[in-house]
Structure 1
Amino acid sequence: MAPQLGVWSNGVEGEVGAVDGIHWADEDAHVHAHAHAGGSVVGPCHPYLGRTRSGGVKNRRKTYNLHTRHDYPPAIMAPAAAAAAAADDDDKERGVRSPSRDEPVVTSTTVALDEKNGGDGVVATDVEARDGGPGGDAVSVHSESSLVQAGVQKAMILKKAWSRTTLLIAFTSLFLTTLIITLSDYSHMVLQPYVTSAFKKHSFMSAAHVVINITRIVAYPIIAKLSDVFGRAEMFTLSIVFQTLSFIVYATSVDIGAYFAAGLFDAIGSTGFGLTQQVFIADATSLINRAFWSTLPESITTIPALYLGSLIGEGFLYHAGWRWSYGAWAIIVPVVAVPLIATMVVLQRRARRHGLVAKSLASVAGCPPGSPMWKKALHLAWTEIDLLGLVLLVAGLSLILIPVSLTGSFNPGRWREGGFIAMLVVGVVCFLCFLVWDIRYAKKPYIPAHMANRTVIVACAIQMLDFMEYSLFTIFFPSYLQVAGHFTPANATRIEYAYLPLIPSLAKSRRHRLGWRKDSRSNSLRVAFQISGLFVAVGIKYTKNAHYWALAGPPLVILGQGVMIYLVDMGDGRHGSEAAFIASKVVSGVGRALWQTAAQVSVQAVVSRQEVAVATGIFQAANSVGAAIGTSISGAIWRNTLPDKLLAHLPEQEKKNALKIFQSIVVAQKYPVGTPARAAIDRSYRESQRILGIVATCVCAPNVFIMWFMRNVRLDEEDRKDEEGVDKTIAKIEQGKERE
Structure 2
Amino acid sequence: MADEKPAGVGESSRAPSSEAMDRPGTIPDDERPVTNGCDETQEGVKAIEAISMAWSKWGLIAAYFGIFLMAFTTSLEGQVTYSVVVFATSSFSSHSLVATVYVIQGVVNAVIKPPMAKIADVFGRLEAFTICIILYVLGYIQMAASANVQTFAAAQIFYSAGSTGLQILQQVFIADTSDMTNRALFSSLPDTPFLVTTWIGSIIGGAIVASSTWRWAYGIWAIILPVVFLPLALTLLLNGRRAKRMGLRPEKRRFIDGGPFVVAAKVWNQLDIGGIVLLSAAFALLLVPLTLTKTTPGGWQSPTIIALIVVGGVLLIAFPLWEGSKKLAPHPLIPLELLKSRTFCAGCAVGFFYFLVFYLSVQPYFYSYLLVVQHQSVAAAGHITQTFSFSSTVTSIVVSLMIKYTRHYKYFVTSGSLIYLLGVGLMIRYRTEDASVGSLVGTQIAVGIGGGMLNVPAQLGVQASASHQQVAAATAVFLTVVEIGGAVGAAISGAVWTQLIPYKLSNYLPADLASQAHTIFGDVNVASDYTTYPPGSPARIAINKSYQETMHTLLMIAVVLCAPLVLLSFLMRNYKLDAVKQGVKGKVIGGNADTDEQKVDVGISHT
| Structure 1 match to 2:22 | none
1:176 aligns with 2:38: no
SS in 2 for 1:664: helix
CA contact (8 A) 2:278 2:319 kept: yes
| Structure 1 match to 2:437 | 578
Structure 1 position 551, deviation (Å): 1.2
| Structure 1 match to 2:310 | 425
Assess, with a 3 A threshold, how the Cα gap between structure 1 residues 644 and 459 changes in structure 2: closer, same or farther: same
User: Superposition RMSD on alpha carbons, in Å?
Assistant: 4.6
Rounded to whole Å, the distance in 1 between the matches of 2:472 and 2:549 is 44
Show CA shifts across 1:344-369 (max 9, x none): 233333434555435434x247xxxx
Rounded to whole Å, the distance in 2 between the matches of 1:578 and 1:698 is 25
Structure 1 position 324, deviation (Å): 8.2
Rounded to whole Å, the distance in 2 between the matches of 1:382 and 1:643 is 47
1:468 aligns with 2:353: no
Alignment of 1:705-716 (within 5 A): 705-716=567-578
Rounded to whole Å, the distance in 2 between the matches of 1:314 and 1:641 is 33
1:163 aligns with 2:42: no
| Structure 2 match to 1:135 | 29
SS in 2 for 1:499: helix
Rounded to whole Å, the distance in 2 between the matches of 1:212 and 1:699 is 22
Rounded to whole Å, the distance in 2 between the matches of 1:728 and 1:117 is 12
* Unpaired segments ≥5 residues, structure 1: 1-115, 366-370, 504-529, 731-740
Which of 335, 341, 345 is residue 448 of structure 1 equivalent to? Answer: 335
Assess, with a 3 A threshold, how the Cα gap between structure 1 residues 416 and 430 changes in structure 2: closer, same or farther: same
1:271 aligns with 2:170: no
CA contact (8 A) 1:455 1:711 kept: yes
Letter in 1 for 2:163: S
1:289 aligns with 2:187: no
Rounded to whole Å, the distance in 2 between the matches of 1:154 and 1:459 is 29
Letter in 2 for 1:348: G
Which of 224, 229, 240 is residue 133 of structure 2 equivalent to? Answer: 240
| Structure 2 match to 1:3 | none
Comparing 197-206 and 374-383, the one that deviates more:
197-206
| Structure 2 match to 1:616 | 475
| Structure 2 match to 1:54 | none
Show CA shifts across 1:241-295 (max 9, x none): 3334445666777888986775543332222212111111111111211122121
| Structure 2 match to 1:567 | 430
CA contact (8 A) 1:251 1:327 kept: yes
Count of aligned pairs:
571
SS in 2 for 1:390: helix
Rounded to whole Å, the distance in 1 between the matches of 2:242 and 2:71 is 27
* Unpaired segments ≥5 residues, structure 2: 17-27, 586-590, 598-607
Alignment of 1:35-184 (within 5 A): 118-120=3-5, 128=11, 135-136=29-30, 146-184=39-77
SS in 2 for 1:357: coil
Letter in 1 for 2:400: A
| Structure 2 match to 1:496 | 385
1:537 aligns with 2:386: no
Letter in 1 for 2:275: G
Structure 1 position 624, deviation (Å): 3.1
1:230 aligns with 2:123: yes
Rounded to whole Å, the distance in 2 between the matches of 1:725 and 1:210 is 43
Comparing 393-402 and 275-284, the one that deviates more:
393-402
Assess, with a 3 A threshold, how the Cα gap between structure 1 residues 640 and 313 changes in structure 2: closer, same or farther: closer
Structure 1 position 548, deviation (Å): 0.8
Show CA shifts across 1:474-517 (max 9, x none): 445455556665666665554433223344xxxxxxxxxxxxxx
Show CA shifts across 1:219-239 (max 9, x none): 122111111111212111222
| Structure 2 match to 1:439 | 324
Which of 196, 199, 221 is residue 114 of structure 2 equivalent to? Answer: 221
Rounded to whole Å, the distance in 1 between the matches of 2:267 and 2:6 is 36
Assess, with a 3 A threshold, how the Cα gap between structure 1 residues 193 and 546 changes in structure 2: closer, same or farther: closer
CA contact (8 A) 1:547 1:598 kept: yes
Show CA shifts across 1:145-167 (max 9, x none): 95221112223333333221110
Rounded to whole Å, the distance in 2 between the matches of 1:645 and 1:203 is 15
Letter in 1 for 2:40: L
Alignment of 1:280-359 (within 5 A): 280-300=173-193, 303=196, 306-307=199-200, 311=204, 329-353=221-245, 355-359=247-251
**Scaled by the length of structure 1, what TM-score is found?**
0.66
Letter in 1 for 2:234: A
CA contact (8 A) 2:388 2:448 kept: yes
Assess, with a 3 A threshold, how the Cα gap between structure 1 residues 379 and 716 changes in structure 2: closer, same or farther: same
SS in 1 for 2:333: coil
1:458 aligns with 2:346: yes
Show CA shifts across 1:347-403 (max 9, x none): 333434555435434x247xxxxx632354144223211222222222222222231
CA contact (8 A) 2:94 2:149 kept: no
Assess, with a 3 A threshold, how the Cα gap between structure 1 residues 202 and 160 changes in structure 2: closer, same or farther: same
Which of 404, 409, 419 is residue 556 of structure 1 equivalent to? Answer: 419
**Greater RCO structure (CA 8 Å; 6+ sep):** 2
Assess, with a 3 A threshold, how the Cα gap between structure 1 residues 617 and 404 changes in structure 2: closer, same or farther: farther
Structure 1 position 710, deviation (Å): 0.9
Letter in 2 for 1:357: R
Letter in 1 for 2:344: V
Rounded to whole Å, the distance in 2 between the matches of 1:387 and 1:155 is 23
Letter in 2 for 1:591: G
